[in-house]
Amino acid sequence: MSSEFSGFPPDGLSRPSRRRFVQGLAAGGAIASLGLWPRAVWALKSPNQPTLIAGRDFDLRIGETAVNFTGRARSAITVNGSLPAPTLRWRQGDRVQLRVSNALPPGSIHGHETSIHWHGIVLPANMDGVPGMSFNGIHHGDTYQYRFDVRQAGTYWYHSHSGFQEQAGLYGALIIDPIEPEPFRYDRDYVVLLSDWTDLDPAALFARLKKMPGYDNIHQRTVADLVRDTRRNGLTATLADRKMWGAMRMTPTDLSDVDASTYTYLINGTTSLGNWTGLFHSGEKIRLRFINGASMTYFDVRIPGLKMTVVAVDGQYVHPVSVDEFRMAVAEVFDVIVEPSGQDAFSIFAQDMGRTGYVSATLATREGLRAPIPALDPRPILTMADMGMAGMSSGHDMANMDRGSHDMTAMPGMDMSGMDMSKMQPDGATQAHPPGEASNPLVDMQAMAPMPRLDDPGIGLRDNGRRVLSYSMLKSLFDDPDGRDPGRDVELHLTGHMERFAWSFNGEKFSDAEPLRFNYGERLRIILVNDTMMTHPIHLHGMWSDLEDANGDFQVRKHTIDMPPGTMRSYRVRADALGRWAYHCHLLYHMEAGMMREVRVEE
Amino acid sequence: MNVLSAYLKKHAAMLAAAMSLAFCAMASAQEMDHSKMHMPMTMPMPAKPAPAKKPAAKPPRTAAAATTPKRSAPAHAVKRTETATTPIDDGSMPGMDHSTMDHAVMDHDDMTMPMPMDHDAMPGMNHSQTPAEATPSKAAEKPPSIPAPTDADRAAAFPQIVHHAMNDDGIHSYTLFNRFEAWNADHGSGLTWEGQAWIGTDLDKLWLRSEGERSDGITDVADLEVLYGRSKSRWWDVLAGLRHDFRPGTSQDWLAFGVQGVAPYKIEVRATAYLGSSGRTAARIETEYELLLSNRLILQPMIELNFAGRQDARRGIGSGLSTAEFGLRLRYEITRQFAPYIGIVRERAFAGTADFRRAAGNDSNDTRFVVGLRFWF
């Protein structure tokens, strides 16, 4: 706890205390500069602001704290009593030391063991915080000492890797200040940490998903939709569409397993009602560090009236790109710069991918202001093309229909603007699949014609009149840091079964699968193929995921790669970290259901 | 539960026999699974390949780059190009010509084309071993600036870990009272139930199923099935176990073998064959569908067919198709887990069964109005 209010580095740099920040903002937020570091005002203002702890030496105490987001009191897992966990501020080049103690009460519903994983941080395997791989977890009453050199800079986050604790509140932001000046300037700096909260015991939510995976799928197409679609598209096309979905035993409204009918969405641990507010002076440049710390929720983020310039992704600088909106896969991090002016308040609006709910916050010139909150966008409907099933064409019984009806652009919600039909295999060549997927009761579909679709902003975001970020717009500010061509390919298919809520790679759950073995020092390519109808954020611990463009060249360095249904994407990995590393879908319940592998880097 | 435990005590031996049967089935099923699991993955990953040789083993991407102009080939072209470099041309492969394929016999469970399309299974298709190498790899040009690990690095990389299983194959359970209803017909009123429960993992489950009917205070029909179920394919489970009939007549036991799963359009299907004492046989087929009038108002048509291998005069059952029941229930899901409903059920007896009913002074057909609850936990 010593670091919370006075934990400054002993090297004499003027590192202002939290108290000082608060005072500064109380005086109008007008602190322009406090020496070399930090350059911008670290804008802490209201009780809603996450606690900030800066320094090299940290004491983090994991315990239970009562919270109330919905009108019902619940017990959350917190770090030093805070949800989200305190924002930790490190400096590149420092050796940080973090003593993490487990103060969970005996008999806690969240388990007796805990852990912290530093998401996206390159460090020795025994500091990575994954129980069963990097260490044995932190048991009740114990303290684990994390100690490692901070070799990178940027915005990251940290969270529990034990059971469902991440869902129950154990997540926080990590800010690492760079040694070299950043390639952009700003006057103010805010963390915007998005998350999803449920009053349910997360283990009970998991059990519910096993009993009825479609529990939250409450906007399924009904008889009325059948009549409407028939009127709009004709009976043949409508029946053909229903036939395809019927054959797959799936529903096109199934965008996320858990949505706002279960969740309350939070920004910096605050509901829309609580209205987290970041203050600004007109004309200032504000850096917003967006972190998706949700367990299961993809957020589409925008600030009506403001352009957002994306300057870093997953902590790594990118060529600045100006957008109106971006989609955040779970665990992704986007640093954006906005220049609010002309009005006193702007809404930060984050709706979930399925358009079932949102969370909003405010950027304002003073406390208590609000800007209009936009309505939720229309709910999108998955198409066969979205699922990589566009190859179900000519003559295939399942798509027994003419070319005209196969071209589903005429159908409602069948927006395929992000897709280039010409890229699909004209000869009907079909994606090959691992033999283990064949007649595997854990695999309910296989993509026929998956594509990278890096230029696709994603379902529900195409042609919405706004400039929406897609992966193809993200280019690292640096060349391929390794430079070598990958020595080999590792192809993995994302697999699952919606009705059993079973998730896996190549049809094998974590507990049934052998580790993936990488050779220390090698450069390899991972090719992912999504054989499910869900979108999955795939995260490799310990090493960077260098996403490749459509030509197979290095494009952008990330720690979490979004894999929408129907996609095949590839990225390069430099196996420069010995040890056992977790490699998994960052949807918490998918990981817990088995969509995880151990990657073992050995000499 | 009292009924169940009494039953279990009484029939312990038979249950044991059925369970051993079930576990035999499980064992063989698992064997099969293991053989599947140990099949090579798409990309073989040798335990310790020499890094220097690696680049040579990786052709597809470079081959693609060499044969297609930059900025025009999507990444997936890699695979296609690779396909083209193999001796087998897709177009000439048997079964690849979609226009001549008999799609009616294809397994539509597998959305991909079956067998012949499995590139991985074809010789020379193994991605990591495709011999093409169009451009020299950069790997040799720039040696990695990766430090040689020290002993301290090694110790940090592989700490001693107590085995820590992830709970991705945990035991879950589900209990559904699909029908729990009061009915009213011309000849009286009564209660009917139909429910099922499972406990187990994604693939292995113990099932309990029960159906029964009481009219005017007397239990006419009641049975309980205890089955081991194993998921064998994408949509189907196979089951084996026991059925005990408490009524009609004196109690009797059956060995039960069945399948259940989800047919296209999400039609739920259960089909079970029964083998009783002294060569008696029976079968039951049930199908159900859920038609969404809204996301809460759901119409559930249901058909149940019962067959008997031979006549059972004591219980009033004729051979062949004995009864068919058509139900139409309209429920309103107040919550997902709790839904009251109303419905109409028409039951019809056929052939010998109808004769028995008429002889007993009853109608062979019966129409009932029902009010009930569907709930699960």
Q: Chain A partners of B294 at a C-beta cutoff of 8 Å?
A: 222, 224
Find the mean pLDDT for residues A209-235: 94
pLDDT of residue A498: 93
Chain A: nearest CA to B351, how far in angstroms? 36
* Partner residues linked to A290 by β-bridges: A192, A334
Chain B: nearest CA to A576, how far in angstroms? 7
Reply yes or no on whether the pLDDT at B121 is more than 90.
no
pLDDT of residue A390: 64
B293: number of Cβ within 10 Å: 13
What DSSP character marks residue B37? H
User: What is the distance between the alpha carbons of residues A251 and A244, in angstroms, rounded to a whole number?
Assistant: 10
Chain B: nearest CA to A32, how far in angstroms? 41
What DSSP character marks residue B266? G
For A126, which of B71, B74, B159 is closest by C-beta distance? B159
Reply yes or no on whether the pLDDT at A403 is more than 60.
no
Cis peptide bond upstream of A38, omega within 30: yes
Q: Chain B partners of A425 at a C-beta cutoff of 8 Å?
A: 80
Reply yes or no on whether the pLDDT at B85 is more than 60.
no
Q: Report the residue of chain A nearest B150, measured CA to CA.
A: A578
CB of B102 less than 8 A from some CB of A? no
Find the mean pLDDT for residues B226-242: 96
Find the mean pLDDT for residues A482-500: 95
pLDDT, averaged across chain A: 87
pLDDT of residue A99: 97
Three-state secondary-structure class, residue B114: coil
Reply yes or no on whether the pLDDT at B77 is more than 50.
no
CB of B42 less than 8 A from some CB of A? yes
A96: number of Cβ within 10 Å: 21
What DSSP character marks residue A94? P
Triad B201, B203, B207: Cα angle to 5°? 70
At residue A429 the predicted structure's pLDDT band, cuts being 50, 70 and 90, is: low
Reply yes or no on whether the pLDDT at A396 is more than 50.
no
Q: Chain A partners of B49 at a C-beta cutoff of 8 Å?
A: 488, 519
Q: Among the ranges B24-33, B63-72, B178-187, B232-241, which has the highest mean pLDDT value?
A: B232-241
Q: Chain A partners of B157 at a C-beta cutoff of 8 Å?
A: 124-126, 577-580, 601
Reply yes or no on whether the pLDDT at A468 is more than 90.
yes
- Is the Cβ pair B156, A220 closer than 8 Å? no
For A511, which of B48, B128, B166 is closest by C-beta distance? B166
User: What is the distance between the alpha carbons of residues B60 and B83, in angstroms, rounded to a whole number?
Assistant: 9
> Considering all CA atoms of chain B, what is the largest pairwise distance in Å, rounded to the nearest integer?
95
pLDDT in tens, A140-156: 999 999 999 999 999 99
To the nearest whole percent, how much of chain B has pLDDT over 90?
52
The interface residues of chain B toward chain A in range 206-235, judged by CB-CB distance below 8 A, are 231-235
pLDDT of residue B163: 72
Cis peptide bond upstream of B248, omega within 30: yes
Q: Chain A partners of B96 at a C-beta cutoff of 8 Å?
A: 428
Reply yes or no on whether the pLDDT at A126 is more than 70.
yes
Cis peptide bond upstream of A84, omega within 30: yes
CB of A135 less than 8 A from some CB of B? yes
A425: number of Cβ within 10 Å: 20
Q: Report the residue of chain A nearest B234, measured CA to CA.
A: A441
pLDDT of residue A464: 94
A:B CB pairs within 8 Å: 286
At residue B144 the predicted structure's pLDDT band, cuts being 50, 70 and 90, is: low
Reply yes or no on whether the pLDDT at B315 is more than 60.
yes
pLDDT of residue B165: 65
To the nearest whole percent, how much of chain A has pLDDT over 90?
81
Report whether A549 contacts A555 (CB < 8 A). yes
Q: How many residues does chain A have?
A: 603
CB of A53 less than 8 A from some CB of B? no
Least confident of A48-52, B58-62, B137-141, B302-306: B58-62
Q: Report the residue of chain A nearest B38, measured CA to CA.
A: A436
Q: Which residue has the tokens 């990958």?
A: A486
pLDDT in tens, A556-580: 999 999 999 999 999 999 999 999 9
| Interface test mutation site (partner A, options B35, B36, B37, B43, max chain A beta carbons within 10 A) | B43
CB of A497 less than 8 A from some CB of B? yes
User: What is the distance between the alpha carbons of residues B234 and A438, in angstroms, rounded to a whole number?
Assistant: 9
Distance spanning both ends of chain A, measured CA to CA:
40
CB of A590 less than 8 A from some CB of B? no
At residue A397 the predicted structure's pLDDT band, cuts being 50, 70 and 90, is: very low
At residue B38 the predicted structure's pLDDT band, cuts being 50, 70 and 90, is: very low
Reply yes or no on whether the pLDDT at A37 is more than 50.
no
Find the mean pLDDT for residues B31-49: 38
What DSSP character marks residue A182? P
Residue A180 CB partners (closer than 8 Å, separation 6+): A153
pLDDT of residue A48: 56
Least confident of A115-124, A174-183, A410-419, B335-344: A410-419
Find the mean pLDDT for residues A59-68: 95
pTM of the model: 0.80
Least confident of A25-34, A163-172, A345-354, B310-319: A25-34
A137's torsion region: left (phi>0), alpha (psi -120 to 50) or beta?
Answer: left
- Is the Cβ pair A592, B164 closer than 8 Å? no
> Considering all CA atoms of chain A, what is the largest pairwise distance in Å, rounded to the nearest integer?
76
Find the mean pLDDT for residues B77-103: 37
DSSP A554-583: EEEEESEEEE-TTBEEEEEEE--S-EEEEE
- Between A369 and B249, residue with greater pLDDT: A369
Find the mean pLDDT for residues A467-471: 97
pLDDT in tens, A529-552: 999 999 999 999 999 999 999 899
CA dihedral (B29, B32, B38, B39) positive or negative:
negative
The interface residues of chain A toward chain B in range 401-420, judged by CB-CB distance below 8 A, are none
Find the mean pLDDT for residues A433-439: 89
pLDDT of residue B362: 87
A112: number of Cβ within 10 Å: 17
CB of B51 less than 8 A from some CB of A? yes
Name the phi and psi angles at B279, rounded to 5: 75, 10
- Is the Cβ pair B75, A446 closer than 8 Å? no
Residue A303 CB partners (closer than 8 Å, separation 6+): A338, A346, A347, A348, A349, A363
Residue A269 CB partners (closer than 8 Å, separation 6+): A48, A50, A82, A83, A84, A193, A195
Q: Among the ranges A92-101, A245-254, B87-96, which has the highest mean pLDDT value?
A: A92-101
User: What is the distance between the alpha carbons of residues B298 and B304, in angstroms, rounded to a whole number?
Assistant: 19
- Is the Cβ pair A489, B58 closer than 8 Å? yes
pLDDT of residue A425: 41
pLDDT of residue A385: 86
The interface residues of chain B toward chain A in range 152-211, judged by CB-CB distance below 8 A, are 153-154, 156-159, 161-169, 172-174, 202-203
CB of A548 less than 8 A from some CB of B? yes
At residue A485 the predicted structure's pLDDT band, cuts being 50, 70 and 90, is: very high
Q: Report the residue of chain A nearest B152, measured CA to CA.
A: A124
pLDDT of residue A431: 86
Q: Chain A partners of B62 at a C-beta cutoff of 8 Å?
A: 485
Find the mean pLDDT for residues A506-522: 95
Beta strand pairing call for A154-159 and A117-119? antiparallel
Chain B: nearest CA to A343, how far in angstroms? 42
Report whether A138 contacts A115 (CB < 8 A). yes
pLDDT in tens, A112-125: 999 999 999 999 99
Is the ipTM of this structure higher than 0.95? no
At residue B146 the predicted structure's pLDDT band, cuts being 50, 70 and 90, is: confident
Least confident of A36-40, A173-177, A549-553: A36-40
- Between A332 and A23, residue with greater pLDDT: A332
CA dihedral (A231, A237, A239, A245) positive or negative:
negative
Beta strand pairing call for A117-119 and A358-364? unpaired
Report whether A194 contacts A372 (CB < 8 A). no
DSSP A451-477: B--TT---TTTTTSSS-B--GGG--BS
pLDDT of residue A49: 65
pLDDT in tens, B346-358: 999 998 999 999 9
Q: Report the residue of chain B nearest A250, measured CA to CA.
A: B266
- Is the Cβ pair A132, B36 closer than 8 Å? no
Find the mean pLDDT for residues A447-472: 95
Reply yes or no on whether the pLDDT at B88 is more than 50.
no
pLDDT of residue A30: 26
Reply yes or no on whether the pLDDT at A424 is more than 80.
no
CB of A391 less than 8 A from some CB of B? no
Three-state secondary-structure class, residue A135: strand
- Is the Cβ pair B110, A486 closer than 8 Å? no
Buried residues in A514-524 as b, exposed as e (16+ CB within 10 A) = ebbbbbbbbbb
Find the mean pLDDT for residues A300-315: 98
pLDDT in tens, B269-290: 999 999 999 899 999 999 999 9
Triad B282, B283, B285: Cα angle to 5°? 160
pLDDT, averaged across chain B: 73
